[in-house]
């Protein structure tokens, strides 16, 4: 790798080209490259126009203004293993370098399935020909009663909290369908990414798990 008797620092730097991990990476970094070295989150993410043109085997997943970093971390991994593109619409309730995201063990392969939008209109403009299917407890139609397409966007609102559901987004004119997951009455809702997982796998099942094994 390096010539004997040369500069030791240069020899060490050359080692990193062969996949050795650097020891001085910042503790707050979220993602790493193929060699385990930290890179910025934005460098790893997809561009909105690129995501709009991408051919996918599952519908796209959208979290509108998510608030809990652990849910988003789990969704990023869900999308990485299913080939789904995850759209996050600001404002977010956390920093993308939050430690709870890091605990999901994410790397740049996972983040390559993520798009960050400054607002909902940016999502709509980037995928104007896609159906938006909103998952909401206010719906009467079940999620299994939809024939899903890879170009669909499955829309989920923010986790329950002090901010009311954004019904202008979840029931706006851009929404083609409103659907719900069945639950026993008088019980709290499922975890957000549990709901998204059920929806993504139902859609992927309908599409014969194309691209999976």
Which token pair is 29? 């970094």
Q: Assign 70 to helix, strand or coil.
A: helix
Task: Find out whether 5 is annotated in a ligand binding site.
Answer: no
Task: Find out whether 74 is annotated in a ligand binding site.
Answer: no
Task: Find out whether 189 is annotated in a ligand binding site.
Answer: yes
Going by C-alpha positions, the residue among 129, 128, 154 that lies closest to residue 206 is: 154
Give backbone dihedrals phi and psi of 194, rounded to 5 degrees, phi first.
-60, -45
In angstroms, the first-to-last Cα distance of the chain is: 39
> E-assigned strands of the chain?
31-32, 38-39, 60-64, 86-89, 114-117, 132-135, 141-142, 153-156, 175-180
Binding-site residue numbers are 157, 181, 189
Binding-site residue numbers for S-adenosyl-L-methionine are 157, 181, 189
């Amino acid at each position: 790798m390096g010539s004997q008797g040369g500069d030791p620092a240069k020899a060490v730097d050359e080692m990193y080209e062969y996949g050795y991990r650097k020891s001085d990476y910042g503790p707050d970094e979220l993602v790493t490259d193929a060699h385990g070295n930290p890179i910025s989150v934005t460098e790893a993410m997809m561009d909105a126009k690129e995501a709009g043109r991408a051919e996918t085997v599952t519908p796209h997943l959208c979290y509108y203004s998510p608030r809990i970093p652990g849910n988003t971390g789990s969704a990023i991994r869900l999308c990485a293993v299913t080939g789904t593109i995850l759209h996050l619409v600001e404002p977010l309730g956390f920093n993308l370098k939050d430690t709870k995201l890091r605990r999901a063990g994410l790397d740049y392969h996972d983040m390559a399935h993520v798009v960050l939008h400054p607002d909902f209109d940016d999502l709509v403009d980037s995928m104007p020909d896609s159906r938006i299917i909103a998952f909401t407890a206010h719906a009467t139609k079940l999620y299994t009663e939809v024939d899903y397409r890879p170009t669909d966007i499955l829309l989920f609102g923010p986790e329950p909290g002090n901010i009311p559901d954004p019904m202008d987004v979840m029931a706006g004119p851009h929404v083609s369908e409103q659907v719900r997951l069945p639950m026993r009455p008088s019980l709290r809702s499922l975890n957000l990414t549990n709901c998204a997982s059920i929806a993504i796998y139902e859609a992927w099942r309908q599409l014969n798990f194309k691209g999976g094994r």
